[in-house]
Structure 1
């Protein structure tokens, strides 16, 4: 009898895995489609109109898409207050509505690989590890946000609300950290997200590498006006910073950095330089 039970368990495991591989993705697509069809939560539209000017600026069809994506996002992500921060609908709706701007005009996966969003009241401290030769140096630094690889997003609510309510300052910690989450969906956080077609990769690499080097030169001359100098930290940070400016300094990027703007327009499948803000 014991042998039969063991054999049954051994047989059941690969069958369960096979069934998941065959039907799991279809189930998730079906469930997300149902959630997108639901009416938005009470107060969501009013909250986004007040807190997220980018939402009010985009065309009506994109606003409808965004609300449907927020339904899924809120169902799949868990908000956790840290440092005394209590989670309320303003936090959930503002963060979700801003993050989902990155998902428009596509069949999204809703930032896979993590479920938790940690929210502090304001700037928080994080431990940086650097190396001076063989010596490991630990240093605490103040952060507005973090995205842990295959882990949570960490946000300062004070920095979130300051960034999202000003749609033209080029600072939006939610767009920045969730751009990192898009970036890590393929093989790692390296400034090269999963693009929509194979033939896009060569041009993306050429343009973003060139603009990354150009940012170094502009920063040295003090003539950088579109991208924040924090983009110099790494190609991954360059992509996240460029994402912030693509949405918040769209007209300036389209004029001054047209090749970079076109790559991001093709990737995000929206044209924020034409939005009404």
Structure 2
């Protein structure tokens, strides 16, 4: 009888622990956000993150708070001899948190670690061709998002992006857009949205624009979006997210309906920042 009571108590305690998870997470985030943001970190933001001085004051403040939370929760690991410094951590966290501004967020809940390489890195890939034959190959990458809880990044490519912040490319934004897409368990170009009506609008406009990019890629026609976005809907979402933050003016001018979908999703209008 005593054993049964103990088991029942532990079961109730476990249920309570699971149910109280969001509340505990919220309190932890509040505590982290109230920490001190060092002056040296602000200097890193001004040096490395071109978006930061363009943000309205309230978004600058929010970005600093989100950086504190992000850095308090995520582990950074240097690979191939790369040394993790405050410059590395703040530069990556700031651009990852751009995607979270104006949003209630669990701060990439599936993400545990950011692995940083000094340069582009090789990963093993298995691919099945039309005949069903599986081929193994080495792929040279500047970044990759894994559903197992890691994002892999090349510091060399990050620095290139920081030096050319409005050229349409940003590996950090690309890979963390994948993390948002994966929050519902699938990397399919349809991140979690608040309602079925939003999914209908999102699906219709994204499919039309994805098909257009595929046609342009096949024909070699100019496109605001990198052709890599034509390889899969998930890549299209990540590529368009890069363009949203790094070339918002041309994006809004040439693809107004798609831009409107992304302003609703990210709850931001970067075209107004410049």
- Scaled by the length of structure 2, the TM-score of the pair is 0.95
1:152-167 alignment, distance < 5 Å: 152-167=150-165
- The DSSP-based 3-state class of the residue aligned with 2:183 is coil
> Counterpart in 1 of 2:222?
224
Q: 2:128 aligns with which of 131, 134, 142?
A: 131
> Counterpart in 2 of 1:197?
195
When structure 1 is superposed on structure 2, of 39-48 and 83-92 the one drifting more is 39-48
- Scaled by the length of structure 1, the TM-score of the pair is 0.94
> Counterpart in 2 of 1:60?
57
Q: 1:101 aligns with which of 98, 101, 110?
A: 98
1:1-277 alignment, distance < 5 Å: 4=2, 6-7=3-4, 10-132=7-129, 133-276=131-274
Residues in 1 aligned to 2:80 and 2:115: alpha-carbon distance in whole angstroms: 10
When structure 1 is superposed on structure 2, of 83-92 and 196-205 the one drifting more is 196-205
Residues in 2 aligned to 1:81 and 1:246: alpha-carbon distance in whole angstroms: 29
Deviations 1:241-261 (A, max 9, x none): 000000001000000111111
- The DSSP-based 3-state class of the residue aligned with 1:142 is strand
Residues in 2 aligned to 1:99 and 1:75: alpha-carbon distance in whole angstroms: 14
